[in-house]
Chain A
């Protein structure tokens, strides 16, 4: 009897509240403002590499799979997040590339909060996806392994764009956790290096930075950008808490149609520079013996210059899908540091675009390490370089066939 009473109350309650709501939904089928989609990119390929003194190495590489989740709650609010799923050194790795919320305050100001790609140049925020990058690899100094300059961080940003004369001006200013300085007590070989993208800030100081760019022509064919960031990088309470880093970048992007060649020419370039205050790093080499002090000029830089030519207007269908690309990049990581290195890369490639977002890349890369220290950090206080130890130096080159798809 009691249960029948509860059932009766439940049905009555539903009829009072739920039924009218269901009826309202049936009469109002207009879709809401909330929209969701998954986009992203993936790439894989075959790489044939030649290391000095070693046999030719040939391997299919898994590349990566990067889904991008986009949720548009309204015409003002957007959430974006990207995962990086890759097979690296025998295991599957998951990486959160970015995740943030963007809210349009006005037509000229959008606020973003969360983890976002920093507006430091153009390669990382705009050109790194596999189907957009014209070559299978990132330029030296612009990848996750040895970045020269900030790439992604947690913080708050304001960004936007204005019509300026016949063209446009864009801006972005932000406050983020900033990079952290490696003191080297546990790992002397890394002393003085910066770790970009901390999950938890190592000090109360926040990095401030931004980018401003100008597109002066009405056809938006040229963009010139200037970026900068300042941050204190030492851990609070340590002897390095006042050590600061100053970073800047200059970038250029030019698109030109060449009627004589019935082609489109694209030139992109970027120069990054990172200067860390001079500091003395004290540690005990190999954990025994008297302490050792190391001081060096902690300046690193990297640049790339890339040109591509696509005969988009020729009558031959096959030729229209081809693209010739060439790139030179170089990086110098604090030459006097234990992790210091100088490398230069030459890359040339021929791409075949299956469609607007699917490309097969045939590329040949030559990487010439100009100076390096061994992995154990030995030779810490020596000035001789690998090039001196090997009279002919050593070259590292690779032939790659990669397929990349944006979806």
Chain B
């Protein structure tokens, strides 16, 4: 049973590393494939179109009340959003947009 767990863990890490280490290439291949099919405009994901304020509301409220931008200063938002990216497992795209919204609105 332990060998099975180790095998699954290893496959998971390798898969994550293979995809995770080349997000740009992965995305570029998608766009290229869509362009070859004749799509004039690559299909955008929801994350690509959402503004920072929307991501802030949707993500924070899953655990706690969403903190207002004025609650903290710029330096504190830098740290807190970094901490939340790790703690809440947010994507890098989401964190960058949320951080930009909070710092521009506080």
Contact = CB atoms under 8 A, between A and B. Distances in A.
B80 interface: yes
26 contacts: A35-B79, A70-B83, A72-B78, A78-B79, A78-B86, A80-B86, A105-B20, A106-B21, A107-B23, A108-B19, A108-B23, A112-B86, A132-B63, A162-B20, A162-B91, A166-B45, A167-B46, A208-B9, A210-B12, A232-B2, A246-B1, A255-B62, A264-B61, A356-B64, A356-B66, A357-B64
Interface string A395-407: 0000000000010
A78 B82 contact: yes
A132 B88 CA distance: 14
B89 A39 contact: no
A127 interface: yes
Q: What 5 A-B pairs are tightest by C-beta distance, nearest first? A: A108-B20, A107-B92, A218-B46, A170-B89, A356-B65
Nearest to B47: A163
A210 B79 CA distance: 26
B57 to A, nearest CB: 9
A161 B92 CA distance: 8
A161 B79 contact: no
Given A126-B63, A230-B2, A72 B13 contact: no
A35 B63 CA distance: 25
Contacts of A406: 64
Interface of B: 1-2, 5-6, 9, 12-13, 16-17, 19-21, 23, 45-47, 58-59, 61-68, 71, 75-76, 78-80, 82-83, 85-93
B67 A106 contact: no
Nearest to A36: B79
Interface string A67-79: 0001010010010
A163 B83 CA distance: 19
A244 B5 CA distance: 13
The contact size tier of chain A is 35 or more
B67 A35 contact: no
A161 B80 CA distance: 18
A173 B87 CA distance: 14
Interface string A94-137: 00000000100111111010000000000001110001100000
Contact of B16 (A158, A167, A255): A158
A81 to B, nearest CB: 11
Contact of A132 (B64, B82, B85): B64
Interface in A121-166: 125-127, 131-132, 158-163, 165-166
A173 B21 contact: no
Contacts of A244: 1-2
Nearest to A108: B20
Contacts of A158: 13, 16
A171 interface: yes
A172 B61 CA distance: 21
Nearest to A323: B65
Contact of B82 (A75, A105, A208): A75
B6 A208 contact: yes
Contacts of A255: 61-62
B19 A161 contact: no
Contacts of A346: none
